[in-house]
Structure 1
Amino acid sequence: MASSTLPLVFIVRRQNPKLLVPSKPTPHELKQLSDIDDQEGLRFQVPAIMFYKNNPSMEGKDPVSVIREALAKALVFYYPFAGRLVEGPNRKLSVDCTAEGVLFIEADANVEIHWLGDTVGPWCPYLEELLYDVPGSDGIVTRFSCGGFTFAIRLNHTMSDGSGLIQFLNTIAEFSQQPQTKITPSVPPIWQRHLLSARQPPSITCSHHEYDQALAGAAATTTTTTAKETTTIDRSFFFGPKEIRAIRNHLPHHHHSTTATTFELLTACIWQCRTRALCLAPDEIVRVSCKVNGRGNKHGLNLPPGYYGNVFTYPTAMTKAGMLSMLPLGYALELVKKAKAQVSEEYFRSVADLTVIKGRPLYTLEANKDYIVSDTTRAGFDKVDFGWGKPVFGGVPRATSLISVFVCFRDIRGGEDGIVVPICLPELVMDRFEQELKKMIQEPVEHPPNHKPISML
């Protein structure tokens, strides 16, 4: 994405972080996380950021004050967020609900949001200034000189997934919009983490290639293969209706009678392009793990509305690098669809049991060979309204070398909306990845007779 002309110096002046506590007294108790929650692979801080334009109807309202007061009210109901994680026997995580509070930072930037132009989003060159990584920080509101602002939040992933975080953010939004009349959240939060705890006795009943090394007996501390020191770069790639149609045109005729979601299609495409760009040996095994949400009735977990813990797992597709690189896109797509289709209630129960049996192992993450994708395009980050309207961008803003998060993109200048996928790769690999991706979205494809590209889902 092209950037607009920006001032020579982008300055953010931050006040000192302050602990923000619930606005009313809350229970002091110890609450256990589920065995889906406290996996090793979720023990990190996940960031999210939302950009808001100035809204003349909010003239005189300070977003810092509005969000700070609403957050304190929301913490009354989500009081575990104001506590502290503690580790017990067998590395089991619990929350000590101490009401110590969350760190909150007030900040001001010396620019107007429209000066950022089409760099609003994961490609924003000033993300680090707006996220401001303070260990343990939970919220930072940065005002722009025009009246717009950003709200960035960090949350330990063991506490909630994207859906749970959105539920919390929407509660803050409700209290922001109705500070005098709102008494309780529209969706009351439900803890009940025992619903996704391991069975007694635990039993691994499904195949879990995402934990292959753990199942083979490797220690949790040795499951990650460290690559040689190399410089990686971050780039974000936009997929609008035109790009998605072009990718679908690479599918063979027999796919016309099947359904493939946009997430499945993009995952297959990016996995294939990434593998080609890495130039791995043909016999190397490569994997892609896709986040599958277990909420709703599809998988039979029957969790109560308002449950805000982690309700997802990462089924894995795997194949040889040579086959993935040489065969058509339809091959990669079938692998992705097959991996996702295996998820059921029993699959979730088996993951929880594996976590306990194998000592809460990390996912199998071998440098270059493994890749994780998560779809947040329907999570709702782009709809959270604190009174200033919907954000021009909302979502997880960046990738790691092993993880990409799909996010919605709304063009601030009225152009096409679509999906943005941040990618992190070594510089030379990134160049090759871009060339492979261009072949998928720009080159014309010759189709057999009677071929009609299926519509975008």
Structure 2
Amino acid sequence: MVTFTARRSTPELVTPARPTPHELKTLSDIDDQKALRYYQPFVEFFRPRHGAPPQAPAAAIRAALAEALVHYYPMAGRLRKLPGGKLAVECTGEGVVFVEAEADVRLEELGDPVAPPFPCGEELLCEVDDTEDVLGRPLFFLQVTRLKCGGFVTGFYTCHNIADGFGMIQFMKAIADLAHTDKLPIVPPVWEREILMARAPPCVTYLNPAITSLLSNGPDGDDSSKDIMLSTPPEAMVTRVFFFSATDIASLRTHVPLHLAQSTTTFDVLTAAAWRCRTSAIGYQKGERVYLAFTLNARGRCGSGVLPVPRGYFGNALFYAVIDCAVDELCGKPLGHAVELVHNAKIGMASEEEHMRSMVDAMAVQRELPPVVLERTYIVSDTRYLGEDELDFGWAERVGGGIPLPMLAGSIGVSEYTKCKNSDGDYSTAMRMHLPRPAMDYFAKEMDMLLNN
């Protein structure tokens, strides 16, 4: 694997290009979770577009960043803790961190497709120090790294309390749009965090046992020493990325029941297969209950009677769907049974307003707790449709990117899905898995058996 070192300039604060309101904006009860108090990294790779005039990427992006902050002015503020513990953004216009860098490496040396984990990924992100210390600090850090071939990389951290993955890419897309046009961002930002506030008083009427036990017992209610995923030291864990082509997905689909053949998505079948193989590989005992948690995006559901999250909303609008199942049921029945569990949980959560309202109320109640029980829980984060494909500077086009290796201990039980495209134009889904080494070998064999029937 290629290695390199980035030569960085001195970090600078970039402020909004024009004066912006100085006000206090309260976060929603979805935003205001202790579990989101960290900086989420993204790394995106670009190459010059054929025939476009040459550009100085860092200068163009820096100017576009200052203009974008006029519209996304809360991003230039600082997080404060209000009396009672609630978080709010003080819109001070103090600015965000910007770093210009260079690296003696070419895009073609970084892999095909360019997908996580990235070689020397830490060189493409600027120094943030403690990534879990978000109060009173800049909410966005951006490094633009010029490569030897003329391409460049944008590596950025965003405070997760301010935006989810969709919101982070929406802000980055605004920067890209403004870097090659004088028009406003295509999607104007919407704050409106009040739409995801808990009811008064909170009314938790529907929750999975994985969440209700956390509410009643606290984060130490279960014995995590029985779960090797929580008791194994981080240095004894290994990370591997599995790539699934269209042919692989078609092979997994042969296990899908006939009555679900038309409605089952790639996410349903891949997640069911990974959950089943992972559970078997870890060696949970027969009769124990295991959990699957995955996020659903509440955007785009205006008028459906679910939640009125408007277009342009860049705050956290993701909800957990949680499934629980006995080990012998999950691993002893055909894969089609697990596919049906995932499919039904997704449809049920996405179609019931009360399910999502209960989740908002629960998050307000358990603000200082994790969103779900971590013992025997597999968490999936599907980042394939965040909008990264739409990142386009006009004079430069995106060739790949995503979330680099997890930098938080708590993310070791999370698998991320990334959409990749190689130099031949073929798409695949990259799935990152974290397991103890013996379990990883077992997982790979189990998955291979499913792919080969």
TM over 0.5: yes
8 Å CA contact retained: 1:210, 1:289: no
In the TM superposition, residue 195 of structure 1 has moved relative to its aligned partner by 0.9
Alignment deviations for residues 234-269 of structure 1 (CA, whole Å, 9 cap, x no partner): 21111110110011112244443x511111111111
Tell me the distance in 1 between the aligned counterparts of 2:76 and 2:327.
Answer: 45
Q: Which residue of 1 is the match for residue 38 of structure 2? A: 44
Q: Which residue of 2 is the match for residue 449 of structure 1? A: none
In the TM superposition, residue 28 of structure 1 has moved relative to its aligned partner by 1.2
Q: What pairs up with 1:52-67 in 2 under 5 angstroms?
A: 52-67=46-61
Q: Which residue of 1 is the match for residue 364 of structure 2? A: 356
Tell me the distance in 2 between the aligned counterparts of 1:210 and 1:29.
Answer: 38
Amino acid in structure 1 at the alignment position of 2:313: Y
Further displaced range: 238-247 or 44-53: 44-53
1:250 matched to 2:255? The reply is: yes
Tell me the distance in 1 between the aligned counterparts of 2:111 and 2:164.
Answer: 30
Tell me the distance in 2 between the aligned counterparts of 1:407 and 1:190.
Answer: 26
Tell me the distance in 2 between the aligned counterparts of 1:422 and 1:121.
Answer: 10
8 Å CA contact retained: 1:384, 1:390: yes
Q: For 1:177, what is the secondary structure of its paired residue?
A: coil
1:404 matched to 2:415? The reply is: yes
Q: Which residue of 2 is the match for residue 386 of structure 1? A: 393
Q: Which residue of 2 is the match for residue 454 of structure 1? A: none
Q: Which residue of 2 is the match for residue 97 of structure 1? A: 91
Further displaced range: 225-234 or 105-114: 225-234
Alignment deviations for residues 281-314 of structure 1 (CA, whole Å, 9 cap, x no partner): 1122211111111112245212232221111101
How high is the TM-score relative to the length of structure 2? 0.89
In the TM superposition, residue 200 of structure 1 has moved relative to its aligned partner by 1.5
Q: What pairs up with 1:122-201 in 2 under 5 angstroms?
A: 122-135=116-129, 138-178=141-181, 181-182=182-183, 184-201=184-201
8 Å CA contact retained: 1:90, 1:359: no
Amino acid in structure 1 at the alignment position of 2:34: E
Tell me the distance in 2 between the aligned counterparts of 1:120 and 1:170.
Answer: 19
1:320 matched to 2:326? The reply is: yes
Further displaced range: 221-230 or 357-366: 221-230
Amino acid in structure 1 at the alignment position of 2:333: L
Tell me the distance in 2 between the aligned counterparts of 1:299 and 1:380.
Answer: 25
Q: Which residue of 2 is the match for residue 237 of structure 1? A: 242
Change (3 A) 1:285 1:122: same
Tell me the distance in 1 between the aligned counterparts of 2:314 and 2:117.
Answer: 29
Change (3 A) 1:210 1:98: farther
**Count of matched residue positions in the alignment of Structure 1 and Structure 2:** 430
Amino acid in structure 2 at the alignment position of 1:319: C
Q: For 2:51, what is the secondary structure of its paired residue?
A: helix
Amino acid in structure 1 at the alignment position of 2:443: F
Q: For 2:206, what is the secondary structure of its paired residue?
A: coil
1:432 matched to 2:442? The reply is: yes
In the TM superposition, residue 119 of structure 1 has moved relative to its aligned partner by 6.0
1:370 matched to 2:374? The reply is: no
Tell me the distance in 1 between the aligned counterparts of 2:382 and 2:154.
Answer: 21
Tell me the distance in 2 between the aligned counterparts of 1:95 and 1:379.
Answer: 24
In the TM superposition, residue 352 of structure 1 has moved relative to its aligned partner by 1.7
Alignment deviations for residues 399-444 of structure 1 (CA, whole Å, 9 cap, x no partner): 5321122111010x21521111111222221111111111122x2x
Amino acid in structure 2 at the alignment position of 1:345: E
Tell me the distance in 2 between the aligned counterparts of 1:224 and 1:175.
Answer: 51
In the TM superposition, residue 359 of structure 1 has moved relative to its aligned partner by 4.3
Amino acid in structure 2 at the alignment position of 1:189: P
1:68 matched to 2:62? The reply is: yes
> Which residue among 269, 274, 289 is the counterpart of 1:265?
269
Q: Which residue of 1 is the match for residue 133 of structure 2? A: none
Pairwise CA RMSD = 2.1
1:213 matched to 2:213? The reply is: yes
8 Å CA contact retained: 1:398, 1:404: no
In the TM superposition, residue 321 of structure 1 has moved relative to its aligned partner by 2.0
Amino acid in structure 2 at the alignment position of 1:379: L
Tell me the distance in 2 between the aligned counterparts of 1:118 and 1:244.
Answer: 20
Q: What pairs up with 1:330-349 in 2 under 5 angstroms?
A: 330-343=336-349, 344-349=352-357
Q: Which residue of 2 is the match for residue 106 of structure 1? A: 100
Tell me the distance in 2 between the aligned counterparts of 1:290 and 1:92.
Answer: 26
In the TM superposition, residue 73 of structure 1 has moved relative to its aligned partner by 0.5
Unaligned 5+ runs, structure 2: 130-137, 225-229
Tell me the distance in 2 between the aligned counterparts of 1:390 and 1:213.
Answer: 47
Q: Which residue of 2 is the match for residue 227 of structure 1? A: 231
Amino acid in structure 1 at the alignment position of 2:177: E
Identity of aligned residues (%): 39
Tell me the distance in 1 between the aligned counterparts of 2:268 and 2:274.
Answer: 10
8 Å CA contact retained: 2:78, 2:89: yes
How high is the TM-score relative to the length of structure 1? 0.88
Further displaced range: 122-131 or 91-100: 122-131
8 Å CA contact retained: 1:210, 1:363: no
Q: Which residue of 1 is the match for residue 132 of structure 2? A: none
8 Å CA contact retained: 2:281, 2:442: yes
Q: Which residue of 1 is the match for residue 294 of structure 2? A: 290
Tell me the distance in 1 between the aligned counterparts of 2:231 and 2:213.
Answer: 17
Amino acid in structure 1 at the alignment position of 2:122: E
Tell me the distance in 2 between the aligned counterparts of 1:150 and 1:229.
Answer: 33
In the TM superposition, residue 223 of structure 1 has moved relative to its aligned partner by 7.6
8 Å CA contact retained: 1:47, 1:397: yes
Change (3 A) 1:227 1:212: farther
Change (3 A) 1:394 1:223: farther
